Amino acid sequence: MDGYERTIFHVDVNSAFLSWSALKILAEDPGAVDLRTIPSGVGGDVKTRHGIITAKSIPAKKYGVQTGEPVVKALQKCPQLVLVPPDFETYRKYSRALMDILAGYTPLIQQVSIDEAYMDLTDRIAPTDREGALALAKQIRDHVREELKFTVNVGISVNKLLAKTASDFEKPDKTHTLYPEEVPVKMWPLSIGTLHGCGKSTAQKLQLIGINTIGDAAGADLSLLQSVLGQKSGAYIWNSANGISKSRVDPEREQAKSVSNERTLSEDITRENYQTDGVPVIRMLSEKVAGRLQKSGLTGQTVTFQVKSSGFERYSRQMSLPDMTDRAKDIEAAALLLADKLLNGPDGLFEAGVTIRLIGVGVSRISEKQIHQMDLFEWADRNEEDEKARKAEEEARLAEEAIRRAQKARSARQAKLDDMMNKVNGRYGSGTLRKGKT
């Protein structure tokens, strides 16, 4: 025990780009083959069969196809491999929809890439409540699978490092725990290069002194690691190998403020009086929120519906609208939809016998109207989330480039691919602004 225990989930989409491309294809043609069920991959120039694999299906993995390897090599391993080009606009849409769902469980979310996020759920589940954590992880996985039709892995532990390591265990659609007492069995046998934060060159330096597994590093003298890697890195590796991490889940600050209103009800709401007593309150709150937005010259894109039960538990759901709005009608429609899901569905709170004491409606991801009217690219530049997603793309792109350089074979076709990627990146900023969750 290091006194820093929290209940941390790391949620990671299984074969994200591949899954999201598969869903896009299925949405356009429900009769199409599901890419996830056949050997398939995202990346490269599909026609010329050059470039590199940026994502692969699980059947493709069984052929030994690896992310980051040249398409040519992947095709040697698996000649029937089906390839599709990347579609970042679609990826971003699914990424945002996923984060909307996760935000319904806790505001303490840190999105770390387009397809993964940490959640600090300590307020809901004590770090010692292992059963509770497993049940909630299953609930989140089911929620994502049912609503968005793709699967995620959830890693659970008392800190981010261990939760992230756990989510990388067997896939897809699995929950794994990696509590401190499980570290010797589940983490120490892994090769040192798989330790989070241990790059290739660090791993090579450690292998030179006979440290091949994470357990070797955990059992080594701190001073030995520091003499090889330097004070800071040595300490980081030693701590990490021992499952120690003090990094907290750092929720991005609301990009702008949010506007919300809530009302404690004179009488608890149940299934019986929801229509007569609940719906009018939702309507009234939506109008209030819209009025406040309009008064301040603001528009928002994410609507949150929140309730407090008679047992004082808070539940919330949120969704992104396709466009920014300040209209009561839009906010009310979204709030009613969310209320219906949260309260009335077969998994709803009413079915579970929960009665409602307080209702809240809010709008976030707000911008001033003037900003909305600005040049779309400029607006995107101000949007931290866009920035983050773009950064992830940029990283993927840079990685691709590094690999290509290593191959020392920059053909004209690859230059063309660069050009295409740049165009995709360029388009991405503006296109995604208009297309939120549908």
Clarify whether 116 is annotated catalytic: yes
Polymer length in residues for the chain: 438
- By CB under 5 A, tell whether 98 contacts Mg ion: no
* Binder of Mg ion out of 65, 74, 86, 115 (CB under 5 A): 115
Which of 143/288 has CB closer to Mg ion? 143
Provide the residue type at 3 as one letter: G
Stretch that binds Mg ion, among 64-72, 98-106, 114-122, 176-184 (CB under 5 A): 114-122
What does the per-residue mask of binding to Mg ion show for 10-29, with x meaning CB under 5 A? Answer: --xx--x-------------
Of 69, 116, 332, 393, the active-site residue reads: 116
Burial of 261 (0-12, 13-18, 19+ CB in 10 A): middle
* Cα–Cα dist 36/42, whole Å: 11
* Cα–Cα dist 68/53, whole Å: 5
Q: Which helix (H) or strand (E) holds 280?
A: helix 279-296
Does residue 166 sit in helix, strand or coil?
helix
Smallest gap, in angstroms, from Cβ of residue 110 to Mg ion?
Answer: 15
Smallest gap, in angstroms, from Cβ of residue 12 to Mg ion?
Answer: 4
Angle in degrees, CA 296, 300, 306, rounded to 5: 105
- By CB under 5 A, tell whether 120 contacts Mg ion: no
Reading the block at residue 362, the tokens are 């809010």
Nearest by Cα to 181 from 419, 2, 8 = 2
Tell me the number of residues near Mg ion by CB under 5 A: 4
Residues 58-97 that bind Mg ion (CB under 5 A): none
Residues 123-142 that bind Mg ion (CB under 5 A): none
Smallest gap, in angstroms, from Cβ of residue 173 to Mg ion?
Answer: 12
Which of 196/314 has CB closer to Mg ion? 196
416 alpha carbon, distance to own chain's centre:
31
* Cα–Cα dist 438/337, whole Å: 13
- By CB under 5 A, tell whether 396 contacts Mg ion: no
Stretch that binds Mg ion, among 5-13, 138-146, 334-342, 405-413 (CB under 5 A): 5-13
Residues in the site for Mg ion, rule: CB under 5 A? 12-13, 16, 115
